[in-house]
Amino acid sequence: MPTYFVIGASGYIGSHIVKRLARGGNKVKALSRSDASDEFLAGLGAETVRGGIASQAILGSFASASDGVIYAARYAADELAALRAVADGLGDADKPFLFISGASVGAEETAGGSGTFQFSEDSELPSPPRGSAVRLQSEDLVRRTTSARGFVVRPPLVHGAGGSVQIPLLATKARELGHVPYVGAGENLWGFVHVEDLAQLALNALQKGAAGSVYHAVAGEVAFKDLAHAIGEVLSKPARSVPLSEAEAIFGKFAARVMLGSSCRPTSSKTCAALDWTPNQPSVLEDIRAGSYRAAWT
């Protein structure tokens, strides 16, 4: 029975990976920072390890004792140091080292307009949006490590289980403002993936991922105008176009320009073939209108 060490285990993506690993009969050691996280992770079938990503000695020690590491934590200032500690801890064995990055490293800032840039797993990326460039440094560290089989998974907009980032953010603002705001024409397209499909891809990658590779977790694309209208249907709020300047005042600059106003169009044909991965969960619009979000909001 392999043992996997999961960092960011109590987060939205990490917790679904933990649950899927445990369900598959794997032993899971999960980094935890609180009693509440201990209880939550134990309920998913994990054994908890008290510490955070600043606990470099702990990261190295448990990486060394594991059969592989999944890093699914949100970005923090000490991320590079944490990744180095994991790489050092893994040693020279051929163990998988999976880093969950984000497809926003290839986002095109369009202020809600339609974007033309699509990028594959092997594409050379233009300068990433400010705030996303730091994740490319982390990706490079993991992919270039010689001490383990390091590779990267880039999810775009993740949905499912009533969670994620962009969708709950729009729903919260809709309740505050009385409408669902979207940036400009709302023609900007984002790739999406259900969190359960993403968790399955992570498990496939642990078995089949190649050192130095990038994998894209993409099930389809959605326009933000359509996303806003679907949220509005469930919440009984109208969707409304707002200029970028107004969106920045509502959401902040990074969220308005990148999370909500950019075009982010990764493709995943290489990933599907290399990892034998076929997403089969509902689309993001189905999930909002008749799935987990309707259940959570009503």
pLDDT of 81 over the 90 cut: yes
Phi, psi of 108 (to 5 degrees): -115, 115
Query: What class, spelled out in words, does domain 3-107+118-159+192-218+266-275 have in CATH?
Result: alpha beta
The angle, 0 to 180 degrees and rounded to 10, between the axes of the packed helices 166-177 and 244-251 is 100
**Sequence ranges of the domains in the chain:** 3-107+118-159+192-218+266-275
- In three state form, how does the secondary structure of 2-19 look? CEEEEECCCCHHHHHHHH
Per-residue pLDDT for 18 more than 80? yes
The tens digit of pLDDT for each residue in 238-264 reads 999 999 999 999 999 999 999 999 999
Please give the pLDDT value at position 2. Answer: 94
Indicate the pLDDT class of residue 160, thresholds 50, 70 and 90: very high
pLDDT of residue 132: 82
Range 80-96 average pLDDT: 92
Looking at residue 147, its pLDDT comes to: 78
Is the backbone of residue 114 left (phi > 0), alpha (psi -120 to 50) or beta?
beta
Matching residue, tokens 């009984």? 236
pLDDT at 130: 77
Return the higher-pLDDT residue of 131 and 68.
68
Q: What pLDDT is recorded for position 1?
A: 87
Distance CA 260, CA 104 (A): 11
pLDDT of residue 128: 80
pLDDT above 90 for 105: yes
Phi-psi region of 170 (alpha: psi -120 to 50; beta: other; left: phi over 0): alpha
* pLDDT on residue 106: 96
Residue in 164, 165, 156, 125 with CA at minimum distance from that of residue 265: 156
142 touches 80 (CB < 8 A): no
pLDDT tens-place string over residues 163-218 = 999 999 999 999 999 999 999 999 999 999 999 999 999 999 999 999 999 999 99
pLDDT at res. 189: 98
* The two structure tokens encoding residue 218: 């993409």
Give the single-character DSSP code of 92.
T
Per-residue confidence at 146, pLDDT binned at 50, 70, 90?
Answer: confident
Rounded average pLDDT over 21-41: 96
Q: What is the mean pLDDT of residues 267-282?
A: 98
Q: Is the pLDDT of residue 48 over 90?
A: yes
Q: Are 14 and 33 in contact (CB under 8 A)?
A: no
Instruction: Name the β-bridge partners of 69.
Output: 5, 97
152: left (phi over 0), alpha (psi -120 to 50) or beta: beta
Rounded to whole angstroms, how far apart are CA atoms 254 and 252? 6
Alpha helical stretches, state H, 186-283: 195-208, 224-235, 244-251, 253-254, 269-274
